[in-house]
């Protein structure tokens, strides 16, 4: 860990001013940033602690909800409105980390957490995300946690979040502010693929700060699930996770949204795959067809080849859970 | 006998709660990095990046210029240290040249410490460490042990047991009607006790140092520091009153104590060094293993041949090996058995003993292969083990001092409900989950080591028992307290156990599950000596109410000596001591294996085998589609002689079983052989069981009186809990799924088709 400057602004405008410089990092819960600073992976010159900004609230808005960027994961997961209207979000949050971490981790921080690629965390290795231009050690290396979709020759990292997988199927909007003013980013456009510049995880511009996340006026509480598969039954990052929400009308799927976690640089969705389910009676074959479409182009990297088959099965199972109205419990570890 | 926390009398057998428990949960117990020392400097270790080669340039100027930094210690400026390997060889060092940090520019393994930045605060040191840069001349490395040549070194470890073979395995295997010929693999594990390795060296300025170290042996570290740095023994005091777990990682002095002492000597200041969790992956570990097993059996399951060969890696600088291949050949009756082993040298740190070294690997993998034979022959896996049961150590052809494994099988099977098991794989189901039941046998040594204890009784009725040994979280303080309380008839509150100080009477390192048996016996003999002195003092009491009765004619209860023949006559301890003019009675005594026994063991002529045994039953539920495994039940029935404290004993077994769950399903350090480095060096990616992975565990101790194994009939429990657990789970997974995974840990990918 290196020495760094520290600011603690009390309003958003001040934070944006403080944050508008090279080498500055916003600090919210710190559950990822501080770890990375201890490992000398993140080496901010200055840390702007945003915990005093008035961004903690979870507020009703136009039939939906606005989740403040500083709302903790625990506050969000146990919010009665979230539980009632967006249970897939509550479920995904509770599938992640531990109660202690969820008590400090924030909504905005969750969006901006960095990959868990083993090489990103180890300064002695080449990593294009950590040090652009040095190469990707994960390709051909220990990569059982790495991506199978949307990779590039420069990077096969995944985005590790559970919460974001649920936000992806909820068609959330990310509100940001920055030196050039406010803007709203559709969730599907917030994270990016590594391409030739893996050092950038998302579309935030320098100095921009997430202020809140909007959830639209929709209700999928009847048909949803978040299914997470990992190397132990709790407190591990997803090898593969699946968020599904559906509307079923007259026994047929009227709308389906499926997002995968743990397999790509961003929560992975496919309009084609989701379109295949529309009008279908829920069935194993329909789910399998969607799974194949969602995984189109999936490419193993050696020790993560298994993720393709695992994801296919997980998608089918999660669709079944959602269609049947038997969502995965995050307490009982038996797969529903 | 199932464990119950009934009221029991003081002494051996009572379920006394941890006497150090309150100190630990309230933060009163200080660990190595927590002892307050004035004018302390903080050292942070810089770890190397390559697996093999030489440091050509070490850039330390930026670190030296950083605020608070006092010195950057490395091979370039270290003070003199001993030349010869002998000085570095601690009590349990394997043959070879122990690692010497900063000795020269050579890099022997990835993650090797290459510099220590010493500063006025921990934060300054950590900042300084981030500024040190090294340049290397890289040489080709090899960390894939199966690509290095096998060899058997001329000299093996003192504790290594060279296998003794019998019969003609090849011929018997060829003739057998049922054959299993398989190759098993288990991955590397790192010990990772909760407390990171840490040392605080207090520099007194008069030639003396006090070293608070995370170690399993204060006197082992003391001797090491004396040898390496040339201190006089009387000037080095090593303290480890509380140790936050060890599992074997603290058996040998690790590099943090060396570095902290090196810096203290160089700067003549007090220095503290604490490793990071990442650095906990930069020294010893349980080696991975390739275990080839070939079994021949009759149709009734009777074994006709056993072949077992284990190959494990060692470092380039020491020849480390474990007795992995022997256990099946010792445990089961079989006329033809060949056990073999080899090691290969790779560019890593030297592997080391980790909870049940040898058995946790070898018995686990053997028990999985034996399970394969059970299915091959169609014999029930438990019946298979009973068919081949032996009351003798089959490898050495000697009897056991005791072996109540048959009772463990029976009581364990009953508690588990084994009789209701569906025979065929995939025959049991619970909704979308396949249910599997598996059984395995555990075996471990019951060792007894010379240990000395000082007992001090003061006239106010307070008893202190003290030895240099360690309590690494196992309950030694508690065991000592209750043995002493029982021996002198005092309530536990009037007894204090003292541990973790090299100035105290000699004690071996805390390991091998020998501490309860050995320290317990030493406490007993020291207290016996106090009793003799008390009896003598009683004769000075006015009127000599006990009539000068010898110690054997007295009962020692409730702080009084009571005449056995006439309980109306008694003298209080304080009364006797006051009469004799004694303010205290002190006795230092050693308990040790008899001289004949010691010699016999040395020349390989031991007459009886001393072992603990266990029967482990596991239930798993496996999601048929996804391969998600849940270990829903484990019954571990243990035959381990006399149980000193059913509460701490149960905790020991629970811990071993949980570690066995990790061995079966989670724990593995993954190496990138291209760069020769372990990669998942943190607790996010090196998985140990979380609470959700641990469900019902029932511990049973079967009755096993054994007056021969050690003076108090104690066998020790620190390690037996892990042995067999992973095998029982692996076997249950096969029973559930019909899929035999011959590689541990059994991660989800291995269960997908």
Q: State the pLDDT at residue B2.
A: 36
Q: What value does the CA radius of gyration of chain A take, rounded to a whole number of Å? A: 19
**Contact residues on chain B for A99, CB-CB shorter than 8 A:** none
Q: Does B752 touch chain A (CB under 8 A)?
A: yes
The CA-based diameter of chain A, rounded to the nearest angstrom, is 62
| B:131-150 residues touching chain A, CB 8 A cutoff | 131
As a whole number, mean pLDDT of residues A239-255 equals 98
Residue B604: which pLDDT band, with cuts at 50, 70 and 90?
Answer: low
Q: State the pLDDT at residue B606.
A: 77
Q: State the pLDDT at residue B601.
A: 62
H/E segment holding residue A138: none
Q: State the pLDDT at residue B6.
A: 40
Going from N- to C-terminal start, the domains of chain B cover 32-140+195-281, 400-448+610-753, 449-592
Cα→Cα distances B276→A66, B46, B279, B293, Å: 40, 11, 5, 39
User: B32-140+195-281 and B400-448+610-753: same fold?
Assistant: no
Residue A37 and residue B207: Cα distance in Å, rounded? 39
Number of domains in chain A: 2
Residue A137: which pLDDT band, with cuts at 50, 70 and 90?
Answer: very high
What is the distance in angstroms between the Cα of B134 and the nearest Cα belonging to chain A?
11
- Determine, for residues B672 and A142 on separate chains, whether the beta-carbon distance falls below 8 Å: yes
**Contact residues on chain A for B671, CB-CB shorter than 8 A:** 142
| Residue of chain A whose alpha carbon sits nearest to that of B688 | A232
According to the CATH classification, is domain B400-448+610-753 in 3.40.50.1970? no
Which of A235, A239, A328 to probe the B interface (max B CBs under 10 A)?
A: A235
**Cis check: omega of the bond before B745, within 30 degrees of 0:** yes
| B:34-63 residues touching chain A, CB 8 A cutoff | 49-50
CATH number for the domain that contains residue A233: 3.30.390.50
Structural contact between residues B240 and B507, judged by C-beta atoms closer than 8 angstroms = no
Residue in A122, A306, A317 nearest the CB of B749: A306
As a whole number, mean pLDDT of residues B593-597 equals 74
Structural contact between residues A122 and A187, judged by C-beta atoms closer than 8 angstroms = no
Q: State the pLDDT at residue B7.
A: 43
List phi, psi (to 5°) of B590. -115, 145
As a whole number, mean pLDDT of residues B672-676 equals 98
Q: Which tokens in the block code for residue B753? A: 């088709």
- Taking all residues of chain A, what is their mean pLDDT, rounded to a whole number? 97
User: Mind listing the pLDDT tens digit for each residue in A95-135?
Assistant: 999 999 999 999 999 999 999 999 999 999 999 999 999 99
User: Mind listing the pLDDT tens digit for each residue in B128-144?
Assistant: 999 999 999 999 999 99
How many other CB atoms are there within 10 angstroms of residue B537's CB atom? 22
Q: Which tokens in the block code for residue B412? A: 């364990």
Can you say whether the dihedral through the CA atoms of A90, A91, A95, A100 is positive or negative?
positive
3-class SS at B525? helix
Residue B597: which pLDDT band, with cuts at 50, 70 and 90?
Answer: low
CATH of domain B32-140+195-281: 3.90.1170.50
Structural contact between residues B714 and B520, judged by C-beta atoms closer than 8 angstroms = yes
Residue B619 and residue B18: Cα distance in Å, rounded? 31
Residue B6 and residue B392: Cα distance in Å, rounded? 35
Nearest to A42 by CA among A99, A102, A89, A2: A2
What is the distance in angstroms between the Cα of A264 and the nearest Cα belonging to chain B?
18
Structural contact between residues B239 and B501, judged by C-beta atoms closer than 8 angstroms = yes
Q: State the pLDDT at residue B105.
A: 98
Which of B113, B143, B685 to probe the A interface (max A CBs under 10 A)?
A: B685
Q: Does B127 touch chain A (CB under 8 A)?
A: yes
Residue B52 and residue B110: Cα distance in Å, rounded? 7
Q: Does B666 touch chain A (CB under 8 A)?
A: yes
**Contact residues on chain A for B49, CB-CB shorter than 8 A:** 124
Which of B117, B135, B620, B675 to probe the A interface (max A CBs under 10 A)?
A: B675
User: Mind listing the pLDDT tens digit for each residue in B375-410?
Assistant: 999 999 999 999 999 999 999 999 999 999 999 999
The CA-based diameter of chain B, rounded to the nearest angstrom, is 87
Q: Judge whether residue B740 has pLDDT over 50.
A: yes
- Burial profile A78-88: b = 16 or more Cβ within 10 angstroms, e = fewer: ebeebeebbbb
- Taking all residues of chain B, what is their mean pLDDT, rounded to a whole number? 96
Identify the DSSP state of B233. Answer: G
Residue A1: which pLDDT band, with cuts at 50, 70 and 90?
Answer: confident
User: Mind listing the pLDDT tens digit for each residue in B250-299?
Assistant: 999 999 999 999 999 999 999 999 999 999 999 999 999 999 999 999 99
For the segment(s) B449-592, the CATH number from 3.40.50.1860, 3.40.50.300, 2.40.70.10, 3.30.365.10 is 3.30.365.10
Number of residues assigned to chain A: 336
**Contact residues on chain B for A38, CB-CB shorter than 8 A:** 276
What is the distance in angstroms between the Cα of B684 and the nearest Cα belonging to chain A?
7
Q: State the pLDDT at residue B4.
A: 35
| B:542-561 residues touching chain A, CB 8 A cutoff | none
Residue A231 within any structural domain of the chain:
yes
User: Mind listing the pLDDT tens digit for each residue in B481-519?
Assistant: 999 999 999 999 999 999 999 999 999 999 999 999 999
Half-sphere CA count of B237, side-chain side, radius 13 A: 14
Residue A161 within any structural domain of the chain:
no
- Determine, for residues A309 and B752 on separate chains, whether the beta-carbon distance falls below 8 Å: yes
Please report, rounded to a whole number, the percentage of residues in chain B having pLDDT higher than 70. 97
Catalytic residue status for B169: no
User: Mind listing the pLDDT tens digit for each residue in A80-105?
Assistant: 999 999 999 999 999 999 999 999 99
Cα distance between the two ends of chain A: 43
As a whole number, mean pLDDT of residues A18-39 equals 95
Q: Judge whether residue B222 has pLDDT over 60.
A: yes
Q: Judge whether residue B471 has pLDDT over 70.
A: yes
Look up the domain containing A255 and give its range. 224-324
As a whole number, mean pLDDT of residues B241-252 equals 97
| H helices, E strands: number in chain B | 16, 32
What is the distance in angstroms between the Cα of A230 and the nearest Cα belonging to chain B?
8
User: Mind listing the pLDDT tens digit for each residue in B452-462?
Assistant: 999 999 999 99
Cα distance between the two ends of chain B: 43
Strand-pairing partners, residue A240, are A229
CATH number for the domain that contains residue A18: 3.30.43
Cα–chain center distance at A323: 23
What is the distance in angstroms between the Cα of B257 and the nearest Cα belonging to chain A?
23
Residue B695 and residue B525: Cα distance in Å, rounded? 41
Q: Note the pTM of the prediction, 2 decimals.
A: 0.97
| Interface contacts (A, B; CB < 8 Å) | 108
Structural contact between residues B643 and B737, judged by C-beta atoms closer than 8 angstroms = no
Q: Judge whether residue B163 has pLDDT over 90.
A: yes
Q: State the pLDDT at residue B749.
A: 97
Q: State the pLDDT at residue B706.
A: 95
| Residue of chain A whose alpha carbon sits nearest to that of B135 | A124
Structural contact between residues B577 and B359, judged by C-beta atoms closer than 8 angstroms = no
Residue B406 and residue B467: Cα distance in Å, rounded? 37
Axis crossing angle, helix A284-294 with helix A306-324, rounded to the nearest 10: 140
């Amino acid at each position: 860990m290196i020495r760094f400057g520290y600011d603690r602004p009390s309003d958003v405008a001040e934070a944006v001013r403080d944050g508008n410089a090279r080498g500055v990092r916003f600090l919210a819960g710190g559950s990822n940033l501080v770890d990375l600073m201890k490992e000398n992976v993140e080496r901010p010159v200055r840390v702007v602690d945003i915990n005093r900004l008035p961004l903690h609230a979870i507020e009703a808005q136009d039939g939906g909800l606005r989740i403040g960027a500083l709302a903790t994961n625990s506050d969000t997961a146990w919010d009665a409105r979230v539980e009632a209207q967006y249970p897939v979000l509550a479920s995904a949050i509770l599938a992640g980390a531990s109660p202690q971490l969820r008590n400090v981790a924030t909504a905005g921080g969750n969006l901006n957490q960095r990959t868990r690629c083993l090489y990103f965390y180890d300064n002695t290795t080449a990593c294009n995300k950590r040090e652009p231009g040095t190469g990707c050690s994960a390709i051909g290396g220990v990569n059982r946690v790495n991506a199978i979709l949307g990779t590039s020759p420069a990077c096969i990292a995944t985005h590790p979040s559970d919460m974001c997988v649920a936000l992806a199927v909820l068609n959330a909007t990310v509100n940001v502010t920055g030196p050039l003013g406010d803007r709203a980013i559709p969730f599907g456009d917030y994270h990016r693929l590594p391409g030739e510049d893996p050092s950038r995880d998302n579309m935030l511009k320098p100095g921009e700060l997430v202020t809140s996340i909007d959830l639209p006026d929709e209700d999928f509480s009847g048909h949803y699930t978040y299914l997470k598969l990992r190397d132990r039954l709790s407190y591990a990052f997803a090898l593969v996770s699946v968020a599904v929400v559906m509307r079923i009308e007259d026994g047929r799927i009227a709308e389906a949204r499926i997002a995968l976690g743990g397999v790509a640089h961003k929560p992975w969705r496919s309009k084609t795959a989701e379109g295949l389910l529309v009008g279908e009676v829920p069935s194993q074959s329909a789910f399998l067809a969607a799974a194949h479409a969602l995984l189109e182009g999936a490419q193993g990297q050696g020790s993560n080849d298994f993720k393709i088959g695992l994801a296919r099965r997980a998608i089918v199972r999660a669709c079944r859970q959602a269609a049947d109205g038997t969502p995965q419990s995050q307490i009982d570890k038996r797969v529903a | 006998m199932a464990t119950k926390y009934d009221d029991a009398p003081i002494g051996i057998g009572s379920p006394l709660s941890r006497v150090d428990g309150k100190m630990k949960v309230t933060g009163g117990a200080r660990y190595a990095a927590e002892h307050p020392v004035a004018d302390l400097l903080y050292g942070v270790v810089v770890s190397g990046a390559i697996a093999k080669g030489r440091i050509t340039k070490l850039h330390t100027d930026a670190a030296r210029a950083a605020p608070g930094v006092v010195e950057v210690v490395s091979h370039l400026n270290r003070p003199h240290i001993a030349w010869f390997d002998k000085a570095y060889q601690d009590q349990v060092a394997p043959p070879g040249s122990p690692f010497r940090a900063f000795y020269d520019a050579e890099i022997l393994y990835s993650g090797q410490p290459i510099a220590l930045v010493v500063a006025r605060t921990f934060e300054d040191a950590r900042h300084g460490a981030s500024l040190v840069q090294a340049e290397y001349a890289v040489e080709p490395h090899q960390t894939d042990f199966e690509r290095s040549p096998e060899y058997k070194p001329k000299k093996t470890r003192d504790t290594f047991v060279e296998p003794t073979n019998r019969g003609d395995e090849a011929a018997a295997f060829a003739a057998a009607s049922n054959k299993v010929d398989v190759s098993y693999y288990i991955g590397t594990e790192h010990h990772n006790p909760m407390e990171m390795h840490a040392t605080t060296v207090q520099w007194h300025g008069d030639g003396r140092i006090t070293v608070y170290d995370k170690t399993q042996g204060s006197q082992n570290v003391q001797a090491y520091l004396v040898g390496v740095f040339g201190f006089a023994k009387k000037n080095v005091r090593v303290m480890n009153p509380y140790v936050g777990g060890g599992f074997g990682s603290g058996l040998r002095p690790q590099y943090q104590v060396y570095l902290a002492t090196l810096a203290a000597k160089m700067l003549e200041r007090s220095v503290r060094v604490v490793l990071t969790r990442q650095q906990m992956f930069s020294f010893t570990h349980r080696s991975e293993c390739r275990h080839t097993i070939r079994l021949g059996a009759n149709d009734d399951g009777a074994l006709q041949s056993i072949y077992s060969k284990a190959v494990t890696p060692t470092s380039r600088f020491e020849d480390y090996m474990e007795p992995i291949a022997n256990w099946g050949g010792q445990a089961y009756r079989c006329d033809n058995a060949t056990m073999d082993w080899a090691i290969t040298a790779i560019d890593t740190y030297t592997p080391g003993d980790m909870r049940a070294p040898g058995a946790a690997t070898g018995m686990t993998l053997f028990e999985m292969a034996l399970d394969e034979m059970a299915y091959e022959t169609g014999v029930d896996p438990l019946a298979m083990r009973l068919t081949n049961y032996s009351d003798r150590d089959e490898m050495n052809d000697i009897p056991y001092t005791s072996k109540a494994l048959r009772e463990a099988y029976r009581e364990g099977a009953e508690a588990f409900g084994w009789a209701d098991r569906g025979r065929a794989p995939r025959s049991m189901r619970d909704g979308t989950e396949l249910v599997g039941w598996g059984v395995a046998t555990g075996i471990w040594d019951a060792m007894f080591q010379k240990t000395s204890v000082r007992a001090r009784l003061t006239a106010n009725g307070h008893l202190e028992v003290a030895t240099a040994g360690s309590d690494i979280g196992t309950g030694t303080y508690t065991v000592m307290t209750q043995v002493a309380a029982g021996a002198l008839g005092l309530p536990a509150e009037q007894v204090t156990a003292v541990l973790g100080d090299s100035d105290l009477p000699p004690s071996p390192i805390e390991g091998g599950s020998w501490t309860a048996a050995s320290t317990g016996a030493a406490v007993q003999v020291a207290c016996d000596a106090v009793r003799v002195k008390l009896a003598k003092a009683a004769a000075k009491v006015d009127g000599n109410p006990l009539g000068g009765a010898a110690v054997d004619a007295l009962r020692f209860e409730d702080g009084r000596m009571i005449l056995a023949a006439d309980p109306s006559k008694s003298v209080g301890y304080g009364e006797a001591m006051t009469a004799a003019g004694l303010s205290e009675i002190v006795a230092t005594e050693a308990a040790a294996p008899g001289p004949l026994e010691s010699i016999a063991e040395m020349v390989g002529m031991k007459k009886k085998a001393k072992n603990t045994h266990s029967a482990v039953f596991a239930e798993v539920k496996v999601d048929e589609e996804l391969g998600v495994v849940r270990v829903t039940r484990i019954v571990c029935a243990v035959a381990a002689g006399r149980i000193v404290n059913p509460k701490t004993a149960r905790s020991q077994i629970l811990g071993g079983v949980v570690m066995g769950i990790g061995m079966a399903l989670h724990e593995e350090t993954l190496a990138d052989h291209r760069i020769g480095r372990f990669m998942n060096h943190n607790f996010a990616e090196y998985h140990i069981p979380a609470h959700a992975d641990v469900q019902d565990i029932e511990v049973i101790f079967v009755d096993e009186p054994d007056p021969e194994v050690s003076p108090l009939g104690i066998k020790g429990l620190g390690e037996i809990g892990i042995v067999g657990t992973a095998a029982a789970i692996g076997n249950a997974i096969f029973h559930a799924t019909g899929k035999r995974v011959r590689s541990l840990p059994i991660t989800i990918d291995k269960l997908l088709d």
